Amino acid sequence: MDPILVENRGGWSIVTLNRPDRLNAFNPDMHRALAEALDRLGSEEDCRAIVLTGAGRGFCAGQDLEAVGTDTELDQTLERFYNPLVRRIRAMPKPVIAAVNGVAAGAGANIALACDIVLAARSAKFIQAFAKIALVPDSGGTWFLPRLVGEARARALALTGEAVGADKAADWGMIWKAVDDAALPVEAEALAAHLATQPTAALALIKRAFDGSAANTLDAQLDLERDLQKVAGALPDFREGVQAFMEKRPARFTGRPS
Ligand code: T3D
């Protein structure tokens, strides 16, 4: 069974973590297949948005604890697999939507949070499961969580490993939206299909602006916005967007950088 399924939906693609009997926990094969798929989709001009979801009843249960065995050099797994995965998602020059169809635990939760927009089925849960096995939240969890939900909630979630349901996650600002379970694929597809018609190169610049803001002072961020706006202003989609507005018609964006 392929650990990762990739389907081209015409303008956007859906990537499915596919080890449902292990709640899509990561092993090295799944990591390698996901990296290969994301690298390919990242450079495909015709793919203008990506949906990441899980097969079966879970989204992802993090590291496959059978595969890790008694390995004590866990830093190597992070260095080889998880950290490049989070960096790949953040640097992807197009929107990445997590469609969290079920439980997202450990690194699985934080990989969802690394995505640009997180939709979750109402029955899904987010669990910082690390402390329960005497580990530290990884895959960016200690960076994403305090920024999303604030220090108090982030610390408590990491220290207790308490599950957060999708509705509460949305109320807390951890994710974009909780939707009825049956509606998740439809909502995720509609969002991806919409984003695939938008000015992709400009969306990539927006991602860069937000990534920069995390470490920047207001002054530095103003400079970054100025620099990115210079690039955006030279995009053919900017000309098309303005022209479409003036002509009172929908814009026909190519998404291309030139
Ligand atoms: O470098 C490194 O390697 C360190 C990196 C660490 C990154 C991490 O992600 S550490 C955190 C690892 N993940 C966990 O600790 C979560 C473990 N799983 C759970 O706590 C529970 O499975 C869930 C809360 C996610 C879901 O519970 P539930 O009751 O809905 O399902 P279940 O019955 O526990 O799981 C269903 C099956 O999936 C079960 O197999 P079975 O009994 O049907 O044959 C279970 O063993 C398997 N499974 C679930 N999670 C994992 C897993 N198998 C391997 N690894 C898992 N992480």
What pLDDT sits at residue 72? 76
Quote the strand ranges of 82-203, DSSP E. 96-100, 103-105, 117-121, 125-127, 163-165, 177-179
- Name the closest-CA residue to atom 54, ligand 1: 64
Domain co-membership, 106 together with 207: no
Domain co-membership, 10 together with 135: yes
How does pLDDT run across 118-171, given as a tens digit for each residue?
Answer: 999 999 999 999 999 999 999 999 999 999 999 999 999 999 999 999 999 999
Q: Which of 158, 174, 195 is the last residue of a domain?
A: 195
Q: Is 137 in the pocket of ligand 1 (CB under 6 A)?
A: no
Say what percent of the chain tops pLDDT 70. Answer: 99
Has residue 39 been placed in a domain?
yes
Specify the ligand 1 atom closest to the Cα of 139.
7
- Name the closest-CA residue to atom 15, ligand 1: 129
Q: How many domains does the chain have?
A: 2
Specify the ligand 1 atom closest to the Cα of 103.
25
Domain co-membership, 175 together with 220: no
What's the token pair of residue 254?
């190519």
Question: d(Cα 192, Cα 95) in Å, to the nearest integer?
Answer: 8
Cα 105 to middle of ligand 1, angstroms: 8
Q: What angle do CA 197, 203, 205 make, to 5 degrees?
A: 155
User: Is the separation of the CB atoms in 141 and 131 below 8 Å?
Assistant: no
- Other C-beta atoms lying within 10 Å of the C-beta of residue 106: 26
Average pLDDT over residues 179-197: 98
Domain that holds residue 209: 200-247
Q: Is 16 in the pocket of ligand 1 (CB under 6 A)?
A: no
Has residue 45 been placed in a domain?
yes
Does pTM top 0.85 for this prediction?
Answer: yes
Domain co-membership, 210 together with 149: no
Q: Which of 175, 195, 215 is the last residue of a domain?
A: 195
